[in-house]
Amino acid sequence: MASPFTDPAFYADRYPTYTALRTSSPILQVSLDGGTSTSAVVTGYDEARKAFTAPLSKDAGAYFADRPSGRSLHPAIARTMLTVDPPEHTRLRRLVTKAFTPARVDGLRPYIRALAEQLVGNWESGTELDLVEELAGPLPVTVICQLLGVPTTDRDSIRAWSTDLFATGDHQRIDAASHALAGYMAGLIEAKRAHPDRSLLSDLISVHDQDEDRLSEDELLSLAVLLLVAGHETTTAAIGNSVLALLQHPAELEHLRTSPHCIADAVDELLRYDSPVSIATWRWAPEDVELAEATVPAGSPVFVCPGAANRDPAKFPDPDRLDLGRANAGSHLAFGHGIHRCLGAPLASAEVEIVLSVLLAHSPGLRLAVPADQLVWRQSRLVRGLVSLPVHV
C-alpha cells in the first residue's frame, strides 16, 4: 500500500500532503511504511483536540506484549511518562511538576539570554554560517543540561546521543544511543545523590508529596532521560523553523522589530505555522474509540498531527499565511493537549522568544544564504526541523 510518509518529498514540504489527507477525511486509516497494516492519522483541528483527550492509550508495553518488536531500546527510554497512562502518569506528572516549577523557568531566563548573546556575539558581520550548527543546535542542549545539572564537559556527548535517538528507521543506532545515554544519566544521578546541588536533577531526587511518595530509581532515570531528549531536538527545530519563517516574511519580521512587546504572541504564531512536533507520539485504541465522525477500531495505532491540525482552515483562516497578529494563534496544538501536554512548554517558548529578540538586536541584516527550496529537512515523522540553515550575517 502506498504511503505518503515514505516519500522524501513529504519531508521537504509536508503541508500539501496534510491538506490532501484532511480533505479526504480528518481521521483516516493510512499505511505509515507502505506495508499492509494501517494507523489512524488525525489531521483535522477539532479531531486532533478530541484525540488528545480521548480514551486512547500510550502504553506501548501493553500493545507490544504480544507483538515482539525485536528492539533492544533501554527500558528508561522505552517506558517514560510519555508511554504510560493514568494512574501511573498522573503520579509521575504530579511529582515532576513539584520540582519543575514556573519559577525555575523564570530563573533560567538570564542564563538563556547570556548564552544566546554569547553564541550570536561570536558571529562576524559579512560571513556565511549555519544557524542550526551555531545557535539552534547548541542553545537548547546547553539549556537543558544547565537545568538538569549536566557538567559542561559532557554536553557534546549528550548532543550526539540525543541526535542518534532521532535517527528515524536506524533501530541499531537508536537502541545503542539509548543505552549510552541511560548509562551516563544513571552515573550522574549517583553523583548528585552523593553531592546534591541546586539542579533540577537534585530536586527530582528529593521530591516527594504529602504521602512521602517519591520517584523510584527507574522513574528518576527515565524522567532525566526524557527531559533531556524531549527538550533538545524539538526546541532546535522550533528555533530553526521560526527564523526561517521570519526570513521568508520580511514584512512580519519588520513588524516584530518595531513591536518587540508582541514577541510572545509571535512565537505562538510561529509554532502554529511550522510546528516542530509535526506528528505527535504514538497512541493506540485499546477498544473501539469514537472520535468525531469516525470510529478508531480496537488495536489501531493513532497518530495525531499537530502540524496538520495547526493548518486546518476551519480553525485558522488562510492557514498557510504567517500572520503574527493572528487573534487565535494561541489555540495551536504545537505542544499537544490534555494530560500529556508538553511539560516544557514555558521553557521552550522562553528559549524561542529570547533567541529571536537577541537575533533582532544583534543581526539586523540576517538573510538566507541559499534558496529556500534547497534547504535540507530532517527525515523524521515526529520532528519537522532543518538539518542546516545557511545564512548571511
Which residues lie near ligand HEM (CB under 6 A)? 81-82, 93, 144, 226-227, 230-231, 234-235, 238, 276-277, 280-281, 306, 334-336, 340, 342-344, 347-348
Is 77 or 393 the residue whose CB approaches ligand HEM more closely? 77
**Residue 336 C-beta: closest distance to ligand HEM, Å:** 3
**Residue 208 C-beta: closest distance to ligand HEM, Å:** 19
**Residue 390 C-beta: closest distance to ligand HEM, Å:** 22
**Residue 126 C-beta: closest distance to ligand HEM, Å:** 31
Q: If DSSP states are collapsed to H, E and C, what string results for the chain?
A: CCCHHHCHHHHHCCHHHHHHHHHHCCEEEECCCCCCCCEEEECCHHHHHHHHHCCCECCHHHHHCCCCCCCCCCHHHHCCHHHCCCCHHHHHHHHHHHHCCHHHHHHHHHHHHHHHHHHHHCCCCCCEEEHHHHHHCHHHHHHHHHHHCCCHHHHHHHHHHHHHHCCCCCHHHHHHHHHHHHHHHHHHHHHHHHCCCCCHHHHHHHCECCCCCECCHHHHHHHHHHHHHHCCHHHHHHHHHHHHHHHHCHHHHHHHHHCHHHHHHHHHHHHHHCCCECCCCCEECCCCEEECCEEECCCCEEEECHHHHCCCCCCCCCCCCCCCCCCCHHHCCCCCCHHHCCCCHHHHHHHHHHHHHHHHHHCCCCEECCCHHHCCECCCCCECCECCCEEEC
Is 42 or 144 the residue whose CB approaches ligand HEM more closely? 144
Residue nearest to ligand HEM (CB): 344
Is 307 or 319 the residue whose CB approaches ligand HEM more closely? 307
Is 256 or 305 the residue whose CB approaches ligand HEM more closely? 305
**Residue 85 C-beta: closest distance to ligand HEM, Å:** 10
Is 82 or 324 the residue whose CB approaches ligand HEM more closely? 82
Is 54 or 81 the residue whose CB approaches ligand HEM more closely? 81
**Residue 100 C-beta: closest distance to ligand HEM, Å:** 7
